[in-house]
């Protein structure tokens, strides 16, 4: 349990719990009562917390891909490349980047002006429905959060793709079928988690809004905020 993989798994579990908890309790209350108001500052707290832990999950999945890359591509250097100090440094960078992402959302939220009626067409305070409600003419508060969130997604996806390119090249060079099977088995759970999470994130934040409806957005949001955090422990437990 002192291996880097388990260290990052524990951090992923913590991020999943916080990510889901920031939305799910309020969502369940909204299902039970007819009136479901949320305060102005309560909305920004919910928005910033989802921005923090959503980004943390992106960073952690990228770090775990790099961890698998080092374990398979450079196994003799694994203990040095992924020492406890390095793992902690990776984690600090992940949280710093995530708080920077959340700060951009929070600051830009306070630059939005709402004229009313302020009915959010979603089950939580996501940024896109809030932008639709606002009567601000300035486009900067809309562009900046999209840029920071998009940069994090592109960077983490790039790290994952490059890591797995080297992993697959290394696996194909292995002569024994047993070695290949062992290498593939160490990556299966992570690849499944990456495919589920980034697939839904890209659907919401990267694809053009005209390609899907608001109702589809809500369904996919439930999937990556509630279902995936619940599935991750099961996916990693199967191994």
> 3-state SS string over 200-239?
HHHHHHCCCHHHCCHHHHHHHHHHHHHHHHHHHHHHHHHC
Question: Considering the chain, what percentage of its residues have pLDDT values greater than 70?
Answer: 93
Phi and psi for 157 in degrees, rounded to 5?
-65, -40
Asked if pLDDT for residue 205 goes beyond 80, the answer is no
- Give the pLDDT confidence score for residue 165 in this predicted structure: 92
* Residue 177 scores a pLDDT above 90: no
Per the CB < 8 A criterion, the answer to whether 127 and 145 are in contact is yes
Res 88: pLDDT: 93
Q: How many CB atoms lie within 10 A of CB 135?
A: 9
Contact by Cβ (8 Å): 87, 7: yes
Q: What is the mean pLDDT of residues 210-235?
A: 77
Assign 34 a pLDDT band (cuts: 50, 70, 90).
confident
Higher pLDDT, 69 or 219: 69
Q: Which residues pair with 114 in a beta bridge?
A: 134
Mean pLDDT for the stretch of residues 115-143: 79
Q: How much is the pTM?
A: 0.88
Residue 145: CB partners within 8 Å, gap ≥ 6?
A: 51, 101, 104, 105, 108, 127
Q: Percent of the chain, pLDDT > 90?
A: 29
- 116 φ/ψ sector (left φ>0, alpha ψ -120 to 50, else beta): left
Q: Which pLDDT score, from 0 to 100, does residue 223 have?
A: 83
Across 67-81, average pLDDT: 88
Instruction: Please state which of the four CATH numbers 1.10.10.10, 1.20.1070.10, 2.60.120.10, 2.30.30.100 is assigned to the domain occupying 4-238.
Output: 1.20.1070.10
Phi and psi for 137 in degrees, rounded to 5?
Answer: -95, -20
Short-list 19, 54, 27, 47, CA closest to 109? 47
Question: Tell me, what's the pLDDT at 183?
Answer: 75
Averaged pLDDT score across all residues of the chain: 85
DSSP-derived secondary structure for 155-189: HHHHHHHHHHHHHHHHHHH---HHHHHHHHHHHHH
Domain ranges of the chain: 4-238
């Amino acid at each position: 349990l002192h291996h880097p993989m388990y260290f990052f798994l524990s951090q992923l579990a913590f991020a999943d719990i916080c990510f889901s908890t920031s939305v799910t309790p309020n969502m369940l209350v909204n299902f039970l009562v007819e009136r479901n108001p949320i305060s102005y500052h309560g909305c920004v707290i919910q928005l910033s917390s989802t921005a923090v832990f959503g980004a943390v999950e992106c960073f952690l999945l990228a770090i775990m891909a790099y961890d698998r890359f080092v374990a398979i591509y450079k196994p003799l250097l694994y203990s040095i490349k992924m020492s406890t100090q390095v793992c902690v440094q990776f984690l600090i960078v992940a949280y710093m980047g995530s708080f920077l992402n959340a700060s951009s959302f929070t600051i830009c939220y306070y630059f939005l002006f709402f004229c009313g009626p302020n009915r959010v067409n979603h089950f939580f305070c996501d940024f896109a429905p809030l932008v639709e409600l606002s009567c601000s003419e300035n486009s900067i508060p809309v562009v900046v959060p999209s840029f920071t969130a998009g940069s994090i997604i592109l960077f983490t996806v790039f790290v994952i793709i490059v890591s797995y390119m080297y992993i697959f090249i290394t696996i194909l060079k292995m002569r024994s079928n047993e070695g290949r099977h062992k290498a593939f088995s160490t990556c299966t759970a992570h690849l499944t988690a990456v495919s589920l999470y980034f697939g839904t994130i890209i659907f919401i934040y990267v694809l053009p809004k005209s390609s899907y409806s608001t109702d589809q957005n809500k369904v996919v949001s439930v999937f990556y905020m509630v279902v995936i955090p619940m599935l991750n422990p099961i996916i990693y437990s199967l191994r």
